[in-house]
Chain A
Amino acid sequence: MTIIGWAQIALVLGCALLLAVPVGRWLGCLAQGRMGVLAGIDRGVLRAAGVDPAHGQGWQAYLLAMLAFNAAGFVLLYALLRLQGVLPLNPQGFDGIPPYLAFNTAISFVTNTNWQAYTGEAAMSHLSQMTGLAVQNFLSAGTGIALAFAVMRAFAAGGVSQLGNFWADLTRITLWLLLPGAVIAGFAFIAMGVPQTLAASAAATTIPGGEQTIALGPVAFQLAIKHLGTNGGGFFGVNSLHPFEGPSALATSLQIVLQVVIPFGLCLAFGRIAGDARQGRALLAVMVGFVLLATFAIYAAEAAGNPLHITAGVSPAQGNMEGKDLRFGLALAALFTATTTGASCGAVNAMIDSFTPLGGLVPMFLIQLGEVLPGGVGSGLYGMLVFALLAVFIAGLMVGRTPEYLGKKVQAREVKLAMLAVLVLPAAILGLAGLSLVLEVGTASLQDAGPHGLSEMLYAFTSAAGNNGSAFGGLTADTPWLNTTLGLAMLAGRFGFVIPVLAIAGSLAAKPRAPEGPGTLPTHGPLFIGLLAGVILILGGLQYLPALALGPIAEHVAMLAGQTF
């Protein structure tokens, strides 16, 4: 680790936090329907779509609208992928995507996971990328933020049955936040060297006389929303490591800022809507604290290098460079990895499969903690609020008082639903990864032997169920078994979590907001921040320790002992 490396980390994270302030303010306006100068157009658009923003939906109606919209999006994307061979804008002449892969990919993009069992430039037509995948990048992000809006309103109001209008929320977020953000960032990326062209490729004759076919495409616009919407699905196979998808350290820095700015901003918007800005800042503090810790751990592990290679004769000066490109440097690779896995983005600017064992453990553990640090757009906030409810409940148990959060009494129904939501992730991850590790159809996909093979499989289901999408890329994921089971894990991680969360929101919205009393646990100070962090670690993380001990920790010990597999 170097001082200049930490200066890079401080600068990029600082920019993200600064930008989160205006973004958070605008998110608050969108949630409250205060559209400012856009009010006229907004009303016109909604009317044209047959939406009355004043018509509130209860939690079931909100949920139903969201599920129906996502199901329709899945069908449309699946059809586009299957039919890409006969559709236009297919300059490379790719065939349709086979059924299992199309199923997996369509679920992946609709659930904001963006797990990719294909190599973009070698399988997807421009139409599939632009009109299929990138549209879901917007809509799945819009869905996540809309759900967060619904949950926020449940805390803000007292004694109401309605959580807002899903259609209005989705439209406003997409049109007035994601779209302008993606256009601005898209042009910034083009200026940094990211291509945006309909050409399929360029043919080059190298100086020594060799041939090189350079894949091109409409990359920049898709890249912008991929980060802003914490989607993470790369245009190219190696994602943001590709020199066209991450041309410079500046480009990778902008990507880091984009992938955390909405999750950070949503915390601030939550504080504003709940009427107490300190509440939002407390949640943000927990998120930033974990991001910094994780960055430190990854940076330290990677900078130490691989002792097996150092013994063989590699200079330790650069650290572990397998699977990394030179231009980003280890500091930005560490911050990118911590934020992309913490924020449920899943893009990569360094290959996590080739990280040192502890460097690879951290991103996996960040996802397992529930994708709340800071989590995906929207999903990070509502996931964090679930942990906040559990934290006040546990604190309430300790002192023997009825727990409350923001004046809402937290009772048996909410705690049961919160635990149900929290249990979805370990059930999907440990259950399905365990099954795949004992079945021949699963283990046939492993690339690496020994504990690293276990890590590859564990990471895949962690990433899928956490709706992250990053990968230990050695795993051969494009098999009927993994396409199906990982698809189910993504569905469980998204909708299995959201349904109980919306039920909690419905139940909390109906409760009155009680004023703070002398016995109320303040939920904005350092005590609560520490409590929340502890609950995330224990409730979110503890159940994975045995699996992690068999994977990355065993591998670390083996590496120190000089053993290879």
Chain B
Amino acid sequence: MLRPLLSLLIGFTVLLGVVLPLGVTALAGLTMPERASGSLVRQGDRVIGSALIGQHFEGDRWFHGRPSATSAAPYDAASSAASQLGPTSGALLAAVNERLAGARNVPADAATASGSGLDPHISPENATAQVARVAQARGLPMPRLAALVAQHVEGREFGLLGEPRVNVLRLNLALDALR
């Protein structure tokens, strides 16, 4: 029994734990280098983030992503986390009330923390609700910003899967390019 046990345990550890993952990594680096290394978005030489990972935007000049519960700072992509607060949590209700700041009929994604703390998207309703604020802060006409938001609404994948959404990083990049 010792021979099959040891040869299978060691053989599989080397094959499945070293050879294959390194082989897959190497092949992925050759065939799909951008995606395999995190879909990074560059502006010139500078890495400004990942197309898949949300970022923290604050201040009236930017569209804001969803509330993030990562612990060190919002949108800490080195340590993903959710609030993990339960539905009857008083702390959660207090946080929701603070985000609402007295407003009514606020899109749920603007008032609740995402599960990853890194959600790159907001709902089209959430983006539209921010148009007036950003337009005023930047001195841009509202219809122009509304059109920009509409351009950045991504439909369901293949017209079926998931939900319509707006990538906040891409929207803010386009916003920054508006003059």
Chain A residues with CB below 8 A from B15, complex form: 179
Chain B residues with CB below 8 A from A7, complex form: 160
Report if A555-B87 is in contact (Cβ < 8 Å); known contacts: A135-B16, A325-B116. yes
**Complex Cα distance A139/B15, Å?**
12
Q: Do A555 and B86 touch across chains, with their CB atoms under 8 A apart?
A: yes
B151 interface residue, CB < 8 Å from A? Answer: no
Give the residue among A170, A305, A324 with the most B Cβ atoms within 10 A: A324
B85 interface residue, CB < 8 Å from A? Answer: yes
Q: Do B37 and A220 touch across chains, with their CB atoms under 8 A apart?
A: no
Taking a contact as CB atoms closer than 8 A, the residue among B43, B55, B120, B162 that contacts A328 in the complex is B162
Taking a contact as CB atoms closer than 8 A, the residue among A64, A72, A322 that contacts B112 in the complex is A322
Report if A354-B86 is in contact (Cβ < 8 Å); known contacts: A11-B160, A326-B123. yes
B18 interface residue, CB < 8 Å from A? Answer: yes
A309 interface residue, CB < 8 Å from B? Answer: yes
Chain A residues with CB below 8 A from B148, complex form: none
**Complex Cα distance A119/B16, Å?**
23
Q: Do A49 and B16 touch across chains, with their CB atoms under 8 A apart?
A: no
1/0 per position for B48-74, CB-CB distance to A under 8 A? 111111111111001000100000000
Q: Do B4 and A199 touch across chains, with their CB atoms under 8 A apart?
A: no
**Complex Cα distance A208/B64, Å?**
12
Taking a contact as CB atoms closer than 8 A, the residue among A122, A213, A450 that contacts B88 in the complex is A450
Chain A residues with CB below 8 A from B118, complex form: 242-243
**Complex Cα distance A173/B116, Å?**
34
Interface-forming stretch among A245-253, A262-270, A420-428, A508-516?
A245-253
Count B interface residues, CB 8 Å.
101
Chain A residues with CB below 8 A from B8, complex form: 49, 51, 69, 167, 170-171
Q: How far is the CB of A319 from chain B (nearest CB, A)?
A: 7
Chain A residues with CB below 8 A from B146, complex form: none
Q: How far is the CB of A91 from chain B (nearest CB, A)?
A: 13
**Complex Cα distance A410/B44, Å?**
73
Give the residue among A174, A186, A196, A248 with the most B Cβ atoms within 10 A: A196
In the complex, chain A residues 528-558 whose Cβ is within 8 Å of any chain B Cβ: 555, 558
Report if A204-B49 is in contact (Cβ < 8 Å); known contacts: A198-B25, A221-B24, A448-B89. yes
Closest residue on chain A to residue B42 by CB atoms: A204
Q: Do B82 and A308 touch across chains, with their CB atoms under 8 A apart?
A: no
In the complex, chain A residues 127-162 whose Cβ is within 8 Å of any chain B Cβ: 130-132, 134-135, 138-139
Q: Do A565 and B18 touch across chains, with their CB atoms under 8 A apart?
A: no
Report if A564-B116 is in contact (Cβ < 8 Å); known contacts: A314-B106, A473-B84. no
Chain B residues with CB below 8 A from A195, complex form: 35-39
**Complex Cα distance A337/B115, Å?**
14
B77 interface residue, CB < 8 Å from A? Answer: yes
**Complex Cα distance A193/B39, Å?**
7
Q: Do B85 and A448 touch across chains, with their CB atoms under 8 A apart?
A: yes
Chain B residues with CB below 8 A from A558, complex form: 88
Taking a contact as CB atoms closer than 8 A, the residue among B18, B46, B87 that contacts A131 in the complex is B18
Q: Do B75 and A212 touch across chains, with their CB atoms under 8 A apart?
A: yes
Q: Do B162 and A313 touch across chains, with their CB atoms under 8 A apart?
A: no
A559 interface residue, CB < 8 Å from B? Answer: yes
Q: How far is the CB of B81 from chain A (nearest CB, A)?
A: 6
A315 interface residue, CB < 8 Å from B? Answer: yes
Chain A residues with CB below 8 A from B80, complex form: 119, 121, 215, 236-238, 241-242
Report if A121-B84 is in contact (Cβ < 8 Å); known contacts: A193-B39, A249-B157. no
Closest residue on chain A to residue B6 by CB atoms: A72
In the complex, chain A residues 329-387 whose Cβ is within 8 Å of any chain B Cβ: 329, 332, 348-351, 353-357, 360
Chain B residues with CB below 8 A from A72, complex form: 5-6, 9
Chain A residues with CB below 8 A from B6, complex form: 72
Closest residue on chain B to residue A306 by CB atoms: B87
In the complex, chain A residues 156-203 whose Cβ is within 8 Å of any chain B Cβ: 167, 170-171, 174, 179, 183, 186-187, 190-199, 201-203
In the complex, chain A residues 290-319 whose Cβ is within 8 Å of any chain B Cβ: 305-306, 308-309, 312-319
B178 interface residue, CB < 8 Å from A? Answer: no
Closest residue on chain B to residue A246 by CB atoms: B116
**Complex Cα distance A241/B70, Å?**
13
Taking a contact as CB atoms closer than 8 A, the residue among A242, A327, A448, A456 that contacts B121 in the complex is A327
B136 interface residue, CB < 8 Å from A? Answer: no
**Complex Cα distance A187/B25, Å?**
10
Chain A residues with CB below 8 A from B58, complex form: 208
Report if A332-B25 is in contact (Cβ < 8 Å); known contacts: A167-B8, A238-B80, A314-B108. no
Give the residue among A7, A170, A198 with the most B Cβ atoms within 10 A: A198
Q: How far is the CB of B149 from chain A (nearest CB, A)?
A: 15
Q: Do B38 and A216 touch across chains, with their CB atoms under 8 A apart?
A: yes
**Complex Cα distance A329/B156, Å?**
10
Q: Do B82 and A354 touch across chains, with their CB atoms under 8 A apart?
A: yes
Chain A residues with CB below 8 A from B153, complex form: none
Chain B residues with CB below 8 A from A76, complex form: 9, 13
Taking a contact as CB atoms closer than 8 A, the residue among A179, A332, A353 that contacts B16 in the complex is A179
B128 interface residue, CB < 8 Å from A? Answer: no
Taking a contact as CB atoms closer than 8 A, the residue among B4, B54, B57, B162 that contacts A243 in the complex is B54
Closest residue on chain A to residue B9 by CB atoms: A72
Q: How far is the CB of A5 from chain B (nearest CB, A)?
A: 9
1/0 per position for B1-19, CB-CB distance to A under 8 A? 1011111110111011110
Q: Do B82 and A323 touch across chains, with their CB atoms under 8 A apart?
A: yes
A29 interface residue, CB < 8 Å from B? Answer: no
Report if A314-B172 is in contact (Cβ < 8 Å); known contacts: A135-B12, A244-B52. no
Chain B residues with CB below 8 A from A356, complex form: 87
A36 interface residue, CB < 8 Å from B? Answer: no
A232 interface residue, CB < 8 Å from B? Answer: no
A65 interface residue, CB < 8 Å from B? Answer: yes
Q: Sample 10 A-B pairs with CB under 8 A, ordered by A number.
A: A196-B29, A202-B47, A204-B50, A243-B120, A244-B50, A315-B106, A323-B114, A325-B114, A447-B85, A565-B88
Known: A313-B100, A318-B123. 8 other contacts (CB 8 A): A131-B18, A131-B21, A197-B29, A210-B56, A241-B80, A243-B52, A313-B106, A328-B162
A-B interface, 5 closest residue pairs, ranked by CB to CB distance from nearest: A249-B162, A131-B17, A452-B86, A474-B84, A50-B3
